[in-house]
């Protein structure tokens, strides 16, 4: 009896240690920046900033522009994928299928800026990203109304955030997306959406989590601590942390 109790005790300790080791294992995210249309000049700097801010959160970053990464077995080691200013048609049919299976297995997706200027002919991606890019005026400062300050990506913000960036107008906005921030078009010139102008949102759909922010066009935007904190919060959300 005594030996059985001791054995059970050590088995429980082993299971506890195994769980601790699993919890302590590094999280990994894939940053994908392939472009077949316009290429943003801040991609290189943005990737460097993403690596720096996420590493401080214990999240390892791998960066690639090779779409065959979605066909590799190593894809399963990532908890989320970030499309950072991807443009145009960036995946072939086989890569699309693999990426869709990866996301629908419960992994996270985060889109930054031109992720909405990507894969216009793919209905599944339209549902994932939540809207498509339509146009934009010149880079300028604008007023952002933070309409949800309880989310991981926005809880550090005040109700109003003045920020300088390139402000996307969107088309095909998906009904039911959870809007985090809205643009006040009276605060800048050239907006075309009117009073309903979302600029950051999230959704939980078919077992996955996604977050999108329209910010991130300029190099200077990645120096903004508020934007860095938004990216950290958005990633933690889609990873379920």
Asked if residue 53 has pLDDT above 80, the reply is: yes
124 vs 18, higher pLDDT: 124
| Rounded average pLDDT over 57-75 | 97
The values of phi and psi at residue 78, to 5°, are -95, 140
Asked if residue 173 has pLDDT above 90, the reply is: yes
**What does the pLDDT look like over 218-238, one tens digit per residue?**
999 999 999 999 999 999 999
Query: Rounded to the nearest 10 degrees, how much is the dihedral formed by the CA atoms of 187, 189, 194, 195?
Result: 0
Asked if residue 21 has pLDDT above 50, the reply is: no
Tokens 């690639």 belong to which residue?
A: 64
Strands 80-84 and 108-112: parallel
233 three-state secondary structure: helix
pLDDT of residue 159: 98
CA 138 to CA 75: how far, in whole Å? 38
| Rounded average pLDDT over 150-169 | 98
Q: Give the percent of the chain with pLDDT over 90.
A: 87
pLDDT of residue 206: 78
**What does the pLDDT look like over 180-201, one tens digit per residue?**
999 999 999 999 999 999 999 9
Q: How would residue 25 be classed by pLDDT, with cut points 50, 70 and 90?
A: low
Q: How would residue 24 be classed by pLDDT, with cut points 50, 70 and 90?
A: low
207 three-state secondary structure: coil
Bridge-partner residues for 162, per DSSP? 143
Angle, to 10 degrees, between the axis of helix 225-239 and the axis of helix 43-55?
70
Asked if residue 111 has pLDDT above 50, the reply is: yes
Please name the residue ranges forming H helices in the chain: 2-24, 43-55, 93-104, 123-129, 225-239
Q: What DSSP character marks residue 46?
A: H
* 38-66 residues labelled b (16+ CB within 10 A) or e (exposed): eebebbebbbebbbebbeeeebebebeee
Name the strand (E) or helix (H) holding 162: strand 160-165
pTM, 2 dp: 0.90
Q: Where does residue 122 fall: left (phi above 0), alpha (psi -120 to 50 degrees), or beta otherwise?
A: beta
């Amino acid at each position: 009896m005594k030996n059985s109790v001791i054995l059970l005790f050590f088995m429980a300790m082993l299971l506890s240690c195994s769980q601790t080791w699993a919890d302590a294992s590094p999280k990994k995210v894939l940053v994908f920046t392939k472009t077949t249309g316009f290429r943003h000049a801040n991609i290189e700097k943005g990737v460097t900033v993403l690596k720096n801010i996420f590493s401080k959160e214990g999240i390892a970053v791998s960066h690639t522009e090779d779409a065959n990464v979605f066909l590799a077995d190593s894809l399963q080691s990532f908890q989320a994928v970030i499309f950072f200013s991807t443009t145009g048609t960036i995946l072939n049919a086989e890569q699309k299928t693999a990426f869709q299976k990866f996301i629908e297995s419960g992994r996270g997706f985060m889109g930054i800026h031109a992720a909405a200027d990507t894969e216009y002919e793919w209905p599944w991606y339209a549902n994932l990203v939540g809207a498509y890019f339509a146009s934009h005026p010149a880079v300028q400062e604008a007023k952002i109304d933070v309409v949800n300050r309880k989310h991981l990506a926005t809880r550090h913000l005040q109700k109003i955030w003045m920020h300088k960036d390139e402000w996307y107008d969107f088309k095909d906005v998906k009904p039911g997306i959870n809007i985090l921030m809205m643009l006040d078009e009276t605060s800048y010139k050239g907006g075309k959406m009117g009073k309903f102008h979302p600029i950051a949102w999230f959704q939980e759909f078919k077992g996955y989590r996604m977050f999108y922010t329209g910010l991130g066009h300029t190099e200077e935007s990645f120096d903004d601590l508020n934007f860095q904190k938004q990216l950290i919060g958005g990633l933690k959300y889609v990873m379920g942390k």
